[in-house]
Chains A and B, each alone.
Chain A
Amino acid sequence: MKCEQVHEVLGEYCAGELDDDRMMEIRQHLASCKTCEREHREMAIIMKALGDYEAIEPRADFGARLWHRIEEFETRKRAFWLAAFAGFLARNRRLVVTGCVVFVVSLFAGAYFLENMGGGPGMDLADQSGVVAEGFVMREIPQEAALDTMFTHFVTGDIPVHLTSQPRNFVYKPVGQTGSAPKLTF
């Protein structure tokens, strides 16, 4: 091994970062070369001094100052967004008023819809089974189809139907049907 090659890896040698074969090779060279051995000693001193480099401690109020800064930042951020929002409202007064009106109207329209399409005192299927079943011929259509038909009545509103939230069993006695009637469960 040439001296130049040894000099190139002295740092890694001192830090023990080379593989075993290379470490051995350099060790043998150092044992027989005074110049390289001196270079090695110097490098070892440098490496030790680097490892012992002065360490400092953060100031005792490091955490407190950091949090103070973070809170200051968050306060400013909130203030910024509030100011931006206020500015937007001031610049778009008409748009904001229109939006509010649309919102209130939608709210009432929704309430009215719920009142009349399902939330109000409609006819309970349990009490009006005869009426609901009037158009069905249970012997000819399967139970699922009968349910579909009733759902259509519910949606179109041609026969008032009130679906309750609790599952209930209904017994139908359609016109002309004899024998036991099928049970429909909602």
Chain B
Amino acid sequence: MTRHGDELPPRGGDRGYNESDEKLMLRVGKGDKGAFDEIVRRYASKMVNLAYRITGDRELAEDIGQETFFRAYRSAARYREISKFSTWLHTIAINLCRNELRRRKFRMFSLEGMAERDEDSKVRIDVADEKTKPDREVERQELGRMIKEAIATLPEKFKTPLVLRDMQGLTYEEIGNILDLPEGTVKSRINRARLRVKELLEPMLRDEDSGGSRV
């Protein structure tokens, strides 16, 4: 894209931007707008998806993605190569997600009618009607929906590391740097988050065990 174009910028190689993110950011700080286009091209999808997976809201994710890059641009002149650029950008996005969740008292995809809280405050997620006998693709979509709901019920401190690791594919070390947590704590939170999701979906999975394979 040109910087006023209607779509994301073309691949960096086409425009001669083959440098590392950190070098590009230093160029942005000196006023190179093309370098910023390249940064956006590299990270737009990652940031929007990260926000989507944490908040569960497509529109909100888009807004957070915009705000993340806007803040990065504003801070470009002060940017120094003290940390990995992607870590810095992820930190901005995650802080924005946290703020949004806090501000809106986040209930983006309500569990009303799908999950209820019983006396023990345990979340239960309703499983699709057995009688419908969905085919394999529908089953997969159904599992995706339920996973989404299960993740939504996780406290933020478990949800964010889980999203960063199992959906965004970051290493434990990177997650530790982004969240400013020791690697051990990160591992433990991710593990607990996985077990919690499994626990929430167990009724459906057990049902599958008795009725046939799912996914």
Contact = CB atoms under 8 A, between A and B. Distances in A.
B198 A42 contact: yes
Interface stretch (B18-26, B46-54, B77-85): B46-54
Nearest to B193: A11
B62 A62 contact: yes
A152 B62 CA distance: 74
A105 B211 CA distance: 97
Contact of B62 (A47, A59, A67): A59
Tell me if A's interface is mostly helix, strand, loop or mixed: helix
A1 interface: no
Interface string B6-50: 111100000000000000000000000000010011001100110
Contact of B48 (A47, A51, A56, A70): A56
Contacts of B41: 63
A60 B202 contact: no
B144 A7 contact: no
Contacts, number: 112
A43 B198 contact: yes
A47 B61 contact: no
Interface in B167-215: 167, 187, 190-191, 194-195, 197-198, 201-202, 205, 209, 214-215
Contacts of A38: 209
28 contacts: A11-B190, A11-B194, A12-B191, A15-B166, A38-B209, A42-B198, A42-B202, A45-B215, A46-B197, A50-B147, A50-B167, A54-B144, A54-B148, A56-B48, A56-B52, A57-B48, A60-B6, A60-B7, A61-B6, A62-B48, A62-B66, A63-B3, A64-B7, A66-B66, A66-B69, A69-B66, A69-B70, A70-B73
Interface of A: 7-12, 15, 38, 41-43, 45-70, 73
